[in-house]
Amino acid sequence: MAVQKDKWEQYNVLRAGPPLDARLPETRLLEKDALSNMLQRHPSVVLKPRDGSFGTNIIFIQRTETGAYRMQHENNAITMSGTDEVLEWLWIESKGRGYIVQERIRLARIGHRPFDIRVMVQRQKAASSPWTVTGSYAKVAAKGYLVTNVASRPIPLLQALKSARIEDRSLPAKVARAALAAAKRLGDRYPDLRQVGFDIGIDRDRRIWIIEGNY
């Protein structure tokens, strides 16, 4: 089967069973009811194009105390009254492009800026070849941004953990194991898949999350 660059399909492949299902942020296809339900279940959500966008066109939505919705796109923020207005605005801006809505993970921070970890995983041409981690680094969001793809600069993983005052020495190995397990599941579905760059999040409770894989 050819690799499908569809975040919704990827989510469904990864959540097919343990242990990965417990490491995935709750995700749904973006529809009016789905957005309303997700904002009732979570204080903040993230909207992402299904087909990927290299970190652009990602929108963060947070429910305010007055019941309105604060939306942040890149380093700009606007407030809207309800989900109807949000969806209408998104339809115009995205020209009908399909989106998913995902639980926002409260990422650990370095100097008040969220960061996540990019883990590169690869295998040889044969589908039976084992997956190996070939590199990793941390991406710290630029000032005023929430998305880490707009990063000030990549930094070594151990340096990032130290700067974030995360002292769990087992964490890098746990992050690697999560990425390898996710790569194996995607590789079982897509035999031609050779490399994946996983965005792995660590929340403020030191829990590991598989945010997404990039082909």
Read off the pLDDT of residues 119-155 as tens digits, 9 standing for 90 and up.
Answer: 999 999 887 899 999 999 999 988 776 676 655 678 9
Q: Can you tell me the distance from the alpha carbon of 108 to that of 78, in angstroms, rounded to the nearest whole number?
A: 25
Q: Are residues 125 and 182 in the same domain?
A: yes
What DSSP line would sit under 76-120, residue for residue? EEEEESSHHHHHHHHHHHHTT--EEEEEPP-B-EETTEEEEEEEE
Q: Are residues 53 and 141 in the same domain?
A: no
- Beta carbons of 138 and 156 less than 8 angstroms apart: yes
Out of 43, 71, 103, pick the residue that ends a domain: 103
Specify if 135 maps to a domain.
yes
> Residue 180 belongs to what H/E stretch?
helix 171-189
Q: Are residues 113 and 97 in the same domain?
A: no
Specify if 72 maps to a domain.
yes
Specify if 113 maps to a domain.
yes
CATH number of the domain enclosing 147: 3.30.470.20
Q: What's the whole-number average pLDDT of the chain? A: 89
Q: Are residues 112 and 203 in the same domain?
A: yes
Specify if 5 maps to a domain.
no
What's residue 73's pLDDT?
79
Q: Give the number of residues written for the chain.
A: 215
Specify if 4 maps to a domain.
no
Q: Average pLDDT in the 22-37 region?
A: 92
Q: Are residues 117 and 177 in the same domain?
A: yes
Q: Are residues 73 and 126 in the same domain?
A: no
Among 169, 208, 213, 179, which residue's Cα sits nearest to residue 9? 213
Q: Are residues 120 and 199 in the same domain?
A: yes
Q: Are residues 209 and 161 in the same domain?
A: yes
Percent of the chain with pLDDT strictly greater than 70: 92
Q: Can you tell me the distance from the alpha carbon of 43 to that of 57, in angstroms, rounded to the nearest whole number?
A: 20
Read off the pLDDT of residues 177-211 as tens digits, 9 standing for 90 and up.
Answer: 999 999 999 999 999 999 999 999 999 999 999 99
Q: Which domain holds residue 161?
A: 106-214
What's residue 55's pLDDT?
57
Q: Are residues 142 and 160 in the same domain?
A: yes
Q: How many domains does the chain have?
A: 2
Specify if 2 maps to a domain.
no
Out of 79, 103, 127, pick the residue that ends a domain: 103
